[in-house]
């Protein structure tokens, strides 16, 4: 028997980084610190309360959670005018992005991005039968706004996806570049409509001081959306909570394509428990920033290229045979990521002990 698999899916493998049982896991940009005990206790209490009502469907529009996410985002970014009507949430920012492509992509439409960037973007396009167009970044991994605008006007994409800080390079978009792209995409979409410009700020809390968020541009641009996640800064990768801020009409379009009751009562409770302790969790972020900057400095001292990072990872190189370096580290119990531009590797920032293990292993493998 042959299954009627879509022809474009034949032979493809599921997305995913290696999940290996080694002592030092530095490959998927996780927060290395467990949630503090005060957060764990709050989560347990919240789940216990939610469990009493699990015979009922959850709040379909989860307005309380959306209002609290809006409050956190306004405080974190300095943005104004955010409320529940301007925030959406789903099971990780992956699902948020899929909602965007379901609502604004589809057959005959194109999504666009600038490579190297997050490897899931073309999969969102594929899964929604949306065309995919990618444009190379500059040699320093920046996006040239003039070249980007020219290509957007030529291609007329329905959606442009821009990660800032970018994965896997860690580079953040200057706010002026984002502003120019937002101004230029007001009428560059299908049939003269706007192009939906999505700025993916999954790692925004790790950005260096003085790097503003695109959330501050939302009042001026109703076709701009800014995606975030609780996976990284909140040490909540296992909770699967992502969210997006945008104009109410854009959020309402995502409500049309979401599955019924897609955000469980338990997920909503867990998210609200963490938001109530955002200040505690942000102390971990400061420690990770410090460790990241120390990692960049150490790599450069030993002759490696290390890209300035506003995220919780560092892209470094260059290697004639990066696979052998990756394998050498793995043989010594350190798992990092072989991704992004050729000749580069990416290391997530771990605890001081984990980073010491990484440095020792890299020194052994390369002799640096």
pLDDT in tens, 91-125: 999 999 999 999 999 999 999 999 999 999 999 99
| Mean pLDDT of all residues in 224-251 | 97
- Answer yes or no: do 105 and 239 share one domain: yes
* CA distance readout (Å), 285 to 32, 101, 349: 10, 31, 11
Token digits of residue 31: 């927060």
Token digits of residue 160: 């442009």
- Answer yes or no: do 172 and 193 share one domain: yes
Note the pTM of the prediction, 2 decimals.
0.95
Give the pLDDT confidence score for residue 210 in this predicted structure.
Answer: 86
* CA distance readout (Å), 310 to 214, 260, 315, 334: 14, 36, 11, 23
- Mark which of 242, 276, 310 sits at the end of a domain: 276
Domains: count for the chain = 2
Residue 8 forms part of a structural domain: no
- Answer yes or no: do 185 and 83 share one domain: yes
- Answer yes or no: do 162 and 252 share one domain: yes
- Domain extent, residue 330, equals 16-35+279-366
For 147-196, what is each residue's pLDDT tens digit?
Answer: 999 999 999 999 999 999 999 999 999 999 999 999 999 999 999 999 99
- CATH number, residue 327: 3.90.1150.10
- Mark which of 249, 276, 303 sits at the end of a domain: 276
Residue 215 forms part of a structural domain: yes
- Answer yes or no: do 140 and 266 share one domain: yes
Residue 9 forms part of a structural domain: no
User: How many Å apart are CA 260 and CA 61, to the nearest integer?
Assistant: 10
- pLDDT band at residue 328 using 50, 70 and 90 as cut-offs: very high
- Answer yes or no: do 68 and 168 share one domain: yes
- CATH number, residue 221: 3.40.640.10
- Answer yes or no: do 161 and 283 share one domain: no
- Answer yes or no: do 218 and 318 share one domain: no
For 130-144, what is each residue's pLDDT tens digit?
Answer: 999 999 999 999 999
Alpha-carbon torsion angle 146, 150, 152, 154, nearest 10: 180
- Classify strands 313-317 and 344-348 as parallel, antiparallel or unpaired: antiparallel
- Answer yes or no: do 299 and 215 share one domain: no
Overall residue count recorded for the chain in this entry: 368
- Answer yes or no: do 69 and 99 share one domain: yes
Give the pLDDT confidence score for residue 282 in this predicted structure.
Answer: 83
User: What is the DSSP code (8-state) at residue 139?
Assistant: T
Residue 5 forms part of a structural domain: no
Q: What are phi and psi of 92, to 5 degrees?
A: 85, 155
* CA distance readout (Å), 301 to 52, 141, 295, 304: 56, 22, 10, 7
Residue 3 forms part of a structural domain: no
User: How many Å apart are CA 221 and CA 182, to the nearest integer?
Assistant: 7
CA angle centred on 311, ends 308 and 315, rounded to 5°: 50
- pLDDT band at residue 283 using 50, 70 and 90 as cut-offs: confident
- Answer yes or no: do 310 and 238 share one domain: no
User: How many Å apart are CA 316 and CA 314, to the nearest integer?
Assistant: 6
- Answer yes or no: do 265 and 286 share one domain: no
318 preceded by cis ω (within 30°)?
Answer: yes
- Mark which of 216, 244, 276 sits at the end of a domain: 276
């Amino acid at each position: 028997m042959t299954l009627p698999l879509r022809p474009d899916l034949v032979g493809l493998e599921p997305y995913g980084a290696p999940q290996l049982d080694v002592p030092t896991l530095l490959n998927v940009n996780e927060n290395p610190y467990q949630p503090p005990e005060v957060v764990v206790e709050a989560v347990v209490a919240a789940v216990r309360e939610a469990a009493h009502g699990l015979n009922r469907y959850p709040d379909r529009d989860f307005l309380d959670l959306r209002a609290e996410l809006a409050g956190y985002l306004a405080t974190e970014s300095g943005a104004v005018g955010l409320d529940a009507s301007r925030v959406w949430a789903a099971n990780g920012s992956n699902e948020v992005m899929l909602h965007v492509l379901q609502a604004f992509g589809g057959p005959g439409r194109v999504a666009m991005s600038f490579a190297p960037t997050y490897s899931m973007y073309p999969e969102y396009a594929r899964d929604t039968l949306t065309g995919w167009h990618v444009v190379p970044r500059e040699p320093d991994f920046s996006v040239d706004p003039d070249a980007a605008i020219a290509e957007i006007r030529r291609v007329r994409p329905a959606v442009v996806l821009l990660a800032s800080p970018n994965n896997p390079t860690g580079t953040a978009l200057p706010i002026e570049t984002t502003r120019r792209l937002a101004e230029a995409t007001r009428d560059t979409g299908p049939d003269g409509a706007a192009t939906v410009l999505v700025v993916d700020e999954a790692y925004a809390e790790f950005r260096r001081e003085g790097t503003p968020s695109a959330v501050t541009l939302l009042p001026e641009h109703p076709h701009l959306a800014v995606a975030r996640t609780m996976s990284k800064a909140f040490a909540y990768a296992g909770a699967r909570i992502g969210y997006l801020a945008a104009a109410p009409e854009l959020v309402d379009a995502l409500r049309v394509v979401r599955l019924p009751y897609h955000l469980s009562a338990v997920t909503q409770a867990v998210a609200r428990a963490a938001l109530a302790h955002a200040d505690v969790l942000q102390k971990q972020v400061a420690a990770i920033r410090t460790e990241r900057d120390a990692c960049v400095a150490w790599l450069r001292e030993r002759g490696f290229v290390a890209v300035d990072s506003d995220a919780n990872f560092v892209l470094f190189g260059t290697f004639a045979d990066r696979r052998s370096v990756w394998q050498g580290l793995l043989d010594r119990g350190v798992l990092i990521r072989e991704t992004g531009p050729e000749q580069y590797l990416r290391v997530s920032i771990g605890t001081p002990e984990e980073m010491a293990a990484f440095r020792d292993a890299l020194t052994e493998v390369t002799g640096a």
